[in-house]
Amino acid sequence: MAKQVIKVPDLGGADQVDVIEISVAVGDTVAEEDALIVVEGDKASMDVPAPVAGKILSLSIKEGDKVSEGDVIGEIETDAGAAEEEKPAAEPEKEEPAEKEAEEKPAETAEAAPAGEATEQEIKVPDLGGADAVDVIEITVAAGDEVGEGDSLIVVEGDKASMDVPSPAAGTIVSISVKEGDKVSTGDVIGVMKTVAGGAAAAPAPAPAAAPEAAAAPQEPSAVSQEPSAVSQEPSAVSQEPPAAPQKDYQLERDLTPSAEVYAGPAVRKLARELGVTLNKVKPTGPRNRVTKDDLHAYIKEQVKKAESGAVGVGGGIGIAPMPDIDFSQFGPVNVEPMTKIHKITAANMSRNWLNVPHVTQFDDADITELEDFRKSMKAEAEKRGVKLTPVPFLLKAVAAALRAEPSFNVSLHNDGEHIVRKDYVHVGMAVDTPKGLMVPVIRDVDKKGLYELAEEATAMALAARDGKLKPRDMQGACFTISSLGAIGGTGFTPIVNSPEVGILGVSKLAVKPVWNGKEFVPRQMLPLTLSYDHRAVNGGDAGRFMTYLVGVLGDVRRLLL
């Protein structure tokens, strides 16, 4: 048994590269060449492999650290003799450090030209450290693009690493002669660019990936070996999957995939880090499910659009796996129509409220036999006044009285999470079913209005909602909402709280039910009520009192006078 210090190998001259992943933990047993950490420079990412097989004794770096050649990564216990101690991780077998080679070489392609004069030059694949016939996995520029020196032109990938092939100079791309899927080797022409002589064009072609590639050489002299082997060594894990079939839960699968195992070139990884994007959330469209720069841009565009519209879509919030894309036409004929604006807003609000509000729903029946007798006795008089006296104005009045009697429901949670806003007004929202979607106009100062006035206002608001004539203010400021499906049917439903309100009453269809009066069952007209509330603001006891009060008032409307 011997203890060996593991050090960062030759990084081809690159200095202070980022540690983007620690692939092992203390106590892990590793085989020779297993990835220990993944580092990333400007142009390439690479595994730092175990120099020998053994057990990891300690790790002295963490993700986010910057390391250079010779820095200590940790210690490993091996069977080898003590002679191996201090041996740097994976002694490079390379013949010549790539960067050095590149430095010594003049620009492979720049022709001498008078300063200031535009010249065309071939762009060639730089030294790949001996690797041959590596795959072109992404073309990042097109003819006509202006590029700066060092900008990525194409991304190539070998067994263990992917790397950007950088532009040897600033200029304009005239043509690109390779395509995705081609294989290239050092010196192959990948295109032509126009540069202005006397400037950067005369600079030597950068060494391949300018950084960790030489280090990748340790096990495999190939410079193209700088990539997170988590991906390359086990391509089947993620990358070999064919593009998502219509019903595949693509996002769930990717969410389970660590970002380090997602296929992406160093430039894309760097951009993702700068923008704070988790790579496994981005839908890849590149070859072998590779995330391209365009994918990243498309993802960000989509997120910005979602954020600006306030829409939450059909999933994906707070870490919840979104619904898979389903092609319904595979099951039968379909017609895809755009949603109305109201429908979209309702969908967004419902998702927001459902996900944010811890709901509890309480059930009860109100005996409105007397209320109904009274209402029917007043119907003719109401009609003379031009109003329709349905149960709704009674419900409005009873809810207003309950909000006054049990003010625990007439509150909103302050956004700071530290305060409760208690309201000294009673405005009640009324859900209205319209052809364009659900609308909730608000009737103000319900506690101060009479039944006829409320009936008149409820009818006018429902009409305005159905005619699309409500103004934004007509739908703001409610303390509580009533959602009545009584005229439609059903024995009960659990409405969703319309936050920042903390309660909503669901009203179902009146039914005659046998009720025990102490001596016998008698037929009574029972109105099913459901009360959903935000349990952050309201406790079960408050809700019980509110509901009991409400049922009592509806059971004997004379109590409204008290």
**Which residues are annotated as catalytic?**
535
Q: Two tokens at 328?
A: 């319904």
Question: With respect to ligand CAO, which residue has the nearer C-beta, 74 or 391?
Answer: 391
Q: Is 398 in the site for ligand CAO (CB under 6 A)?
A: no
Q: Is 474 in the site for ligand CAO (CB under 6 A)?
A: no
Among 175, 278, 303, 390, binds ligand CAO (CB under 6 A): 390
Query: Which secondary-structure segment (H or E) carries 453?
Result: helix 451-466
Question: With respect to ligand CAO, which residue has the nearer C-beta, 53 or 464?
Answer: 464
Question: With respect to ligand CAO, which residue has the nearer C-beta, 101 or 457?
Answer: 457
With beta carbons less than 8 A apart as the criterion, state whether 357 and 533 touch.
no
Among 431, 497, 505, 553, binds ligand CAO (CB under 6 A): 431
454-473 residues near ligand CAO, rule: CB under 6 A: 462
Q: Which stretch binds ligand CAO (CB under 6 A): 352-360, 421-429, 430-438, 444-452?
A: 430-438
CB of 518 to ligand CAO, least distance (A): 27
CB of 251 to ligand CAO, least distance (A): 28
CB of 288 to ligand CAO, least distance (A): 46
Cα separation values, 539 from 322, 358, 534, Å: 32, 11, 8
Q: How far apart are CA 349 and CA 343, in angstroms?
A: 10
DSSP type of residue 334: -
Q: How far apart are CA 66 and CA 256, in angstroms?
A: 27
Among 31, 421, 487, 512, binds ligand CAO (CB under 6 A): 487
Q: Which stretch binds ligand CAO (CB under 6 A): 119-127, 144-152, 298-306, 429-437?
A: 429-437
Among 483, 498, 530, 532, binds ligand CAO (CB under 6 A): 483
CB of 454 to ligand CAO, least distance (A): 10
Q: Is 159 in the site for ligand CAO (CB under 6 A)?
A: no
With beta carbons less than 8 A apart as the criterion, state whether 265 and 152 touch.
yes
Kindly report the three-state secondary structure assignment for every residue of 74-138: EEEEECCCHHHCCCCCCCCCCCCCHHHHHHHCCCCCCCCCCCCCEEEEEEECCCCCCCCCEEEEE
Q: Two tokens at 139?
A: 């073309």
Residue least distant from ligand CAO (Cβ): 486
Where do runs of H (alpha helix) occur along 266-319? 266-275, 293-309
Q: Write b or e for each residue in 331-341: b if 16 or more Cβ atoms lie within 10 A of its Cβ, otherwise e.
A: eeeeeeeeeee
Q: How far apart are CA 537 and CA 513, in angstroms?
A: 34
Size of the site for ligand CAO (CB under 6 A): 19
Q: Is 507 in the site for ligand CAO (CB under 6 A)?
A: yes
Question: With respect to ligand CAO, which residue has the nearer C-beta, 137 or 465?
Answer: 465
Q: Which stretch binds ligand CAO (CB under 6 A): 123-131, 320-328, 389-397, 539-547?
A: 389-397
Q: How far apart are CA 514 and CA 530, in angstroms?
A: 20
Q: How far apart are CA 514 and CA 435, in angstroms?
A: 37
Q: Which stretch binds ligand CAO (CB under 6 A): 232-240, 259-267, 337-345, 387-395?
A: 387-395
Among 2, 360, 485, 560, binds ligand CAO (CB under 6 A): 485
Q: Which stretch binds ligand CAO (CB under 6 A): 188-196, 213-221, 257-265, 480-488?
A: 480-488
- Tokens 């950088």 belong to 166
Q: Is 357 in the site for ligand CAO (CB under 6 A)?
A: no
CB of 380 to ligand CAO, least distance (A): 12
Edge-first strand listing for the sheet containing 17-22: 45-49, 35-40, 17-22, 66-67
Among 194, 306, 423, 509, binds ligand CAO (CB under 6 A): 509
Among 432, 446, 497, 537, binds ligand CAO (CB under 6 A): 432
The set of residues, in sequence order, having a beta carbon less than 8 Å from that of 535 and lying 6+ positions away, is 358, 359, 360
3-state secondary structure of 55: strand
With beta carbons less than 8 A apart as the criterion, state whether 314 and 322 touch.
yes
CB of 559 to ligand CAO, least distance (A): 20
Q: Is 392 in the site for ligand CAO (CB under 6 A)?
A: yes
Among 486, 497, 530, 543, binds ligand CAO (CB under 6 A): 486
Q: Is 360 in the site for ligand CAO (CB under 6 A)?
A: no
Question: With respect to ligand CAO, which residue has the nearer C-beta, 107 or 395?
Answer: 395
Q: Using CB under 6 A as the criterion, what x/- string covers residues 109-128 for binding ligand CAO? A: --------------------
Helices 293-309 and 266-275: angle between axes, nearest 10 degrees: 20
Cα separation values, 504 from 194, 207, 262, 543, Å: 68, 67, 45, 11
Residue 372: count of CB within 10 angstroms of its CB: 16
With beta carbons less than 8 A apart as the criterion, state whether 32 and 53 touch.
yes
DSSP type of residue 264: B
Question: With respect to ligand CAO, which residue has the nearer C-beta, 249 or 474?
Answer: 474
Among 239, 353, 484, 498, binds ligand CAO (CB under 6 A): 484
The set of residues, in sequence order, having a beta carbon less than 8 Å from that of 320 and lying 6+ positions away, is 355
Q: Is 438 in the site for ligand CAO (CB under 6 A)?
A: yes
CB of 481 to ligand CAO, least distance (A): 9
Q: Is 391 in the site for ligand CAO (CB under 6 A)?
A: yes
CB of 488 to ligand CAO, least distance (A): 6
The set of residues, in sequence order, having a beta carbon less than 8 Å from that of 118 and lying 6+ positions away, is 194, 195, 196, 197
Among 52, 125, 215, 430, binds ligand CAO (CB under 6 A): 430
Site residues, ligand CAO (CB under 6 A): 390-392, 430-433, 438, 462, 483-487, 495, 507, 509-510, 527
